[in-house]
Amino acid sequence: MDLIWKRASTSFYKLILSEGIPKLPSIRWLTRLLSCSKADIGLNHQTIKYLEQRVKNINDREIIVTIIMDEVY
């Protein structure tokens, strides 16, 4: 989650980091980690395939959809 917050908005991450709750890794450490890995925002291909498989076995009455929208400025 830390990587997603950092990638989405460095200003937001700095604000959370300055509050001290919860304890978060430093921006420098996250930047080093991000330089050698990929942390995309959104659903990746494997997650979509997994969800498609799960939905095949669910009838229409059992499906509940929650939409969460978040804007980080």
Could you tell me the residue ranges of all domains in the chain? 2-62
Q: How far is CA 8 from the centre of its chain?
A: 9
Residues 6+ apart with CB under 8 A from 24: 2, 13, 16, 17
pLDDT value of residue 27: 75
Which token pair is 73? 């400025």
Return the pLDDT at 36.
66
Entry pTM: 0.33
Report in angstroms the alpha-carbon separations of 26 from 1, 31, 39: 14, 9, 17
pLDDT of residue 17: 75
Which tokens belong to 20? Answer: 């001290």
In this prediction, residue 21 carries a pLDDT of 67
Mind listing the pLDDT tens digit for each residue in 8-66? 677 877 887 787 767 777 778 777 776 765 656 666 777 778 878 877 877 776 667 65
- pLDDT in the model for residue 35: 72
